[in-house]
Amino acid sequence: MTYHLAGDSTVAPMTAGEEPMAGWGECLDEFVGASVRNHAFGGATTESFLASGTWARLVADVAEGDTVVIQFGHNDQKEPELLASRGGYTDRLRRMVTEVRARGARPVLCTSCERRWFAGDRVTPTHGDYPNAVRDLAAAEGVDLIDLTVFTTWLYEDLGDAASARLLSHYAPGETTAWPDGLVDDTHFRIEGARRIARFVAQSLRAMERRDGDQPAKGSTFTA
């Protein structure tokens, strides 16, 4: 069995020269007992993932019994005319789910990891209706859902503003080659944050697999 990942930069493999910035998909193989094929790339939307041929290449390698984990939204929300939350965005996610099932594999939808934007001691939601659109699609299609919006919001608030910053790409001047003057990025993970999210994704996937050893999949949501 293989895990196939479709998504944007918060999922994508580490880019050479930008260490220690990493997407959670970079670390998933540390926590699962199967191979991982990570097709995610920076800036990806559901549309660009399809139009670039990346989705076609991913699906071509999917075998019966595999799992395909799908997480988009960060960049789709920047193209509301083409990729409206209840329009082009969900249409494309639904197509992906259908094509995965046609291969005899399991689709898993994820809501986007929240941006670490604090207002006082609470994280400000930044994805509008997109997480709810994914939740509703998962419920309508009977697809398993890993709610990373809920999980990351809880995680950041539980750790607090200062401690949670150490999961994201906050680099001091001289700390990294890619950003010699330093960086404050509350969207993209450093390797420690990527590992934390990957561990939760792996735990959620194992929960699905244990459940399905006893009964057919009906679609479940996994949060914190």
Segment 59-76 shows an average pLDDT of 98
Residue 6 belongs to a domain: yes
Q: Which residues on neighbouring strands pair with residue 118, listed in sequence order?
A: 123
pLDDT in tens, 98-137: 999 999 999 999 999 999 999 999 999 999 999 999 999 9
Copy the structure tokens of residue 155: 């995680």
Range of the domain at 107: 2-115+125-149+186-222
pLDDT of residue 30 exceeding 80, the answer is yes
Given phi > 0 = left and psi -120 to 50 = alpha, else beta, which region is 73? left
Provide the CATH number for the domain around residue 129.
Answer: 3.40.50.1110
Total domains in the fold of the chain: 1
- For residue 111, the model assigns a pLDDT of 98
